[in-house]
Structure 1
Amino acid sequence: MTAQPRIAPLFDALLAEKGSDLHMSIGHPPMGRIRGELTPLREAPLTPPEMESLLFDIVNPDQKKQITEEMDLDFAYSYGTKARFRANYFYKATGLAAVFRTIPSKVLTLTDLNTPEVVRKLAERRSGLVLVTGPTGSGKSTTLAGMINHINQTRHAHILTIEDPVEFVHESIKAQVTHREVGPHAISFATAIRSAGREDPNVILIGELRTNETMKLALQLASFGVLVFATVHTNSAPATIDRIVNSFPADEQPAIRGMLAESLAGIVAQQLVRTADGKGRVAALEILIGGSAIASMIREGKVFQIASKMQAGQSQGMQTLDMHLEKLVAAGTIAPEAALDKAQDRESFAKTLQRIKPDFVLSEDLKA
């Protein structure tokens, strides 16, 4: 029987509370992010010797060499059959530190996630670029895993994932799933994406579009008839388009606009919001679906018009983040204050709240 790692009690405490992240910092108690809030998992602060003992116990010699020489390490760790964690070791003012993000061992389906029907339809596309965006910890990976799971359950296809590190592990069901990890299996995202085209994929999941090189390669693959999923750290659909275009030099931007207009299937921008009962969090989604009108706005650089197109495109499944927040408040799923905190147009949303929740009291700064 394999000995339990020394960090096991902290993992168990986090999992027992259904926490999403474990934060470890010298001089502070280990903290768990539980329902969005950082909470101590014990009273005693971590000491430097204890920190080294806990963290170095679960890495191999090459990983230990990397953290001590390069001061940074990312890897995925399997905690028996209980959970997988995405780990980041780094150094800060107090010394060695780490954050572990829980990767659920069970891939949640789109039904489990209660995603709108239009998200399922995006997963059923045969080609194009689908971007899932949002800040760190907003559930992007979980939504993407649900979409990949849907394809895996319903389609005889080759799904290739390129990640750093691999998060959700999909067992091949109807589809053939190939997981590639940057580091052990490829030098970089760019080299992995370049060779992806030669690996006969129908679907490619790219963990993150970090550089304009990876963005361009993803756009090319999408235009070649492959369904490409990727994540970007942006808060809205229009901001995502701007981020991609603006990451290129001015002379390349018209060509990139053309490629993006041609291949964009959809953007799902999400935020996690604490539920009204305080027991969990729910995803609020902004959804943009590609089409001829959106394509011409992208081509002509009229991204500022996209928000009104999303408001008018409800029949196609489109919605702005504020529209979804309004629905969640009206259904009693989230509290008005939590919705207002995430709203993109706070002043306009405050007026909406007063209409649907007349007893809601506005703060002074929003009273016009």
Structure 2
Amino acid sequence: MTAHTAPPEIKTQFDALLSEMVQRGASDIHLRAGSAPAARIDGEIIRYGEERLTPQQMEYFAQVMMPTQVMWGTFLEKRDADFAYSLPGMARFRVNAYFQRGSVGLIMRVIEDKPIPTFEQLGLPQSVFEELSRHERGLILVTGPTGSGKTTTLASLLDHINARDAVNIVTLEDPIEALHRDKKAMMVQRELGADTQSFSNGLRAAMRQDPDIILIGEMRDKETVEAALSAAQTGHLVFSTLHTQDAMRSINRIIDFFQPHEREQIRQASAKAWWRSSASACCRARRRPGAGHGNPAGHAHRQRMRQGRRQARRDQAGLQEGGMRGMHTFDQHLARLVADGLMDEDEAMLAATSPHELKIMMMQASY
């Protein structure tokens, strides 16, 4: 590895390459030594030209995006890094830099510089998310697999609150994907690495910044969960995400961060935080907004948390029975989308948490 000395013309060349890919509709950009630049467009990897990138070019590209010696030195030490990069007026990128076979590789998710979508544009149930946005305290989790729309859903919620309420909102993100400008609210956005070293550290600092609402990009570890629950219990509204499939799995995931002797206390703390969960998904291949979102779980859900894991099994019977209280499962919402003609059955079955249960629901709806 050379010193942190990328030639000035490299940035111009690199930005021009990114601009071309974005203009062609790239969702993800793949750059690595020994291969031509490539991008994912409409779900397929497309290569740009025949000229293969060299290890030296890749090193320079990474240096362009890591402008300080500290960032570069940390990358060389840890051998991978996550950060954001911007092309003003064009797009932002969520970047993962890594080493493979001794040379630098880059994967860049394109985050277009465009207005934050509304609930309606995302296909979110307006009344449900309007209700969520009006809570003054507690913990609201948006759950789902990678790429399902968790970050976009939270951005839409915060933008809705920003336009309506004169509150102080502090976000901790890795990296910042949606840029929020002050409307009625005060917006403070902090990025891991550049502004704070960890979610747990940033959250402890946020508690001294007079927040009404706190967003934590992801529940990653025990310390972050503890700090989030503490904030939710002391009069703040906390938003975050989990990589889980549904509300029941979310309970287990949170509890699994802790040692066995700590878990009963965490169940009680989570229940007191007025736990609410929403599962989201996006069918990107067809550019169809919001394939479905589970409604927030209420009293019955919190009761199961207090009673422990055995009572929170993943059959989701409690949520299915709770439809009259405004709750429904992800699969129930898929069945509704099929019945309304907004999704075909094959697509719904591929997205389902339990294809067997979904098939039964779709059969019942057809009678």
Give the Cα–Cα distance (whole angstroms) in 1 for the partners of residues 175 and 294 of structure 2. 27
Deviation string for 1:221-244 (max 9, x for gaps)?
101110000111112111111000
User: Which residue of 208, 211, 230 corresponds with 1:198?
Assistant: 208
- 1:331 and 2:337 aligned: no
Pick one of 188, 205, 217 that aligns with 1:207: 217
Q: Structure 2 CA distance, aligned partners of 1:23 and 1:138?
A: 20
SS at match of 1:187: coil
Per-residue CA deviation, residues 244-299 of structure 1 (Å, 9 max, x unaligned), is: 01111111111100011111341111222246xx3x14323342524322211110
Question: Which of the numbers 52, 57, 65 marks the counterpart of 1:50?
Answer: 57
User: Which SS does the other structure have where 2:121 is aligned?
Assistant: coil
Answer yes or no: is the 8 Å Cα contact 1:161–1:180 preserved in 2. yes
Is residue 95 from structure 1 mapped to residue 103 from structure 2 by the alignment?
yes
Aligned residues: 353
Give the SS at the match of 2:241: strand
**Per the alignment, in what secondary structure is the counterpart of residue 54 of structure 1?**
helix
1:289 to 263, 287, 296: 296
The answer for unaligned runs of 5 or more in structure 1 is 359-368
Question: Relative to 1, partners in 2 of residues 1:290 and 1:222: Cα closer, same or farther, differing over 3 Å?
Answer: farther
Paired amino acid for 1:261: A
- Decide whether the 8 Å contact of 1:297 with 1:305 is kept in 2: no
Q: Which residue of 1 aligns with 2:3?
A: none
2:85 is matched with which residue?
77
Task: Find the aligned partners of 1:165 and 1:343 in 2 and give their Cα distance.
Answer: 29
Q: Could you tell me how far apart the structure 1 residues matched to 2:169 and 2:280 are?
A: 24
CA shift for structure 1 position 107: 1.6
Kindly indicate whether residue 233 of structure 2 is the aligned counterpart of residue 227 of structure 1. no
Q: Any stretches of 5+ residues in structure 2 without a counterpart?
A: 1-7
Aligned 8 A contact 1:122 1:265 in 2:
no
| TM-score after normalising by structure 2 | 0.88
Label 1:104 to 1:313 Cα distance change in 2 as closer, same or farther (>3 A).
farther
Q: Is the 8 A contact 1:27 1:46 kept in 2?
A: yes
Separation in structure 2 between the aligned mates of residue 334 and residue 29 of structure 1, nearest angstrom: 37
- Please give the root-mean-square deviation of Cα atoms over the aligned residues, in Å: 2.5
Between the aligned partners of 1:144 and 1:92, the Cα distance in structure 2 is 33
- The aligned amino acid for 2:84 is A
Amino acid at match of 1:108: P
Preserved CA contact (<8 Å) 1:107 1:145: yes
8 Å CA contact retained: 2:58, 2:103: no
Give the aligned partner of residue 157 of structure 2.
147
Rate the CA distance shift 1:349–1:111 in 2: closer, same or farther, 3 A. closer
Per residue, is there more helix in 1 or in 2? 2
2:298 and 2:327 in contact (8 A); partners too: no
Cα distance in 2, alignment partners of residues 118 and 170 from structure 1: 22
Q: 3-state DSSP class of the match of 2:109?
A: strand
- Give 1:109's aligned residue: 118
Is it true that 1:243 corresponds to 2:261 in the alignment?
A: no
Tell me if the contact between 1:285 and 1:320 (Cα under 8 Å) persists in the aligned partners: no
Tell me how far apart the structure 1 counterparts of residues 57 and 214 of structure 2 sit (CA, whole Å).
Answer: 41
SS, match of residue 184 in structure 1 = coil
* Greater Cα offset, 132-141 or 301-310: 301-310
1:11 aligns with 2:21: no
What is the alpha-carbon distance in structure 1 between the residues aligned to residue 214 and residue 321 of structure 2?
Answer: 31
Q: What is the CA–CA distance in structure 1 between the aligned matches of 2:326 and 2:41, rounded to whole Å?
A: 32
Distance in 1 (alpha carbons) for counterparts of 2:247 and 2:25? 30
CA contact (8 A) 2:332 2:361 kept: no
Q: Distance in 1 between matches of 2:323 and 2:63?
A: 51
Distance 1:240 1:281 in 2: 26
Closer, same or farther: CA 208–109 of 1 in aligned 2, 3 Å = same
* Partner SS state of residue 100, structure 1: strand
1:40 aligns to 2:39 (yes or no)? no
* Equivalent residue, structure 1, for 2:4: none
Paired residues of 1:20 and 1:101 also in contact (CA < 8 A) = yes
Alpha-carbon distance, 1:337 to partner: 2.2
* Residues 292, 333 of structure 2: 8 Å contact kept: yes
